[in-house]
Amino acid sequence: MQRRSLSATDNVSAAPASSRSAAALDGQGRRLQGIGKTYVLVHGAFHGGWCWTGVARRLRALGHTVYTPTLTGLGERSHVMAARPTIDTFIEDVAQVLHFEDLTEVLLVGHSFAGSVISGVADRMPERLQHLVYLDAAVALPGQALTDIGPPGLVDGYRARARAAGGDGASIPPPAPEALCLATITFAGGDN
């Protein structure tokens, strides 16, 4: 699957045109916060909630409510890696956001590795979700692990990096950025 750059001219709007035009506006024609949809954006491996900063800003400017949790042991929560998080930990991280923020009708977005996370959240609390969005994401069937569906070379590479890290294999060091072949998402006006 190839990644590409997105520009503001691409159709990446957060809500259909009909709901955009019906949103409440303040006295200066700006969309009021909290009037739109509720998004929970879940990052992929080797990231944190911070990777959604630009997307969250744009969605909030359109009046949507946005949460960008960071999964246990990653990003600014890397100091709790000793908790030995598993996929169940990550699912629980997101489920707790939905529970404690009392969120319903959520558009739950999972990028890359987080495809398996949002699938688990959907199994646990489907009544709180409106839509699942898999953004360039891994989707495993019930009973499958990501190692079951990943390309063998990629899975073997992850296992080798875990062994080389000298730990117990629970933590995989991130690859070099150039190995990820990530494209920059650029919005008109240079807002990334």
112 is known as an active-site residue: yes
Closest of 184, 187, 183 to residue 9, by C-alpha: 187
- Distance CA(167)–CA(187), nearest Å, equals 40
Of the residues 112, 116, 119, 171, only one is catalytic, namely 112
Tokens of 129: 């979700």
Do residues 154 and 146 touch, judged by C-beta distance below 8 A?
A: no
Cα→Cα distances 18→14, 93, 164, Å: 12, 33, 53
Whether the Cβ atoms of residue 66 and residue 109 lie closer than 8 Å to each other = no
Contacts of 10 (CB under 8 A, 6+ apart): none
Q: How many whole angstroms separate alpha carbon 175 and alpha carbon 112? A: 15
| Active-site residue list | 112
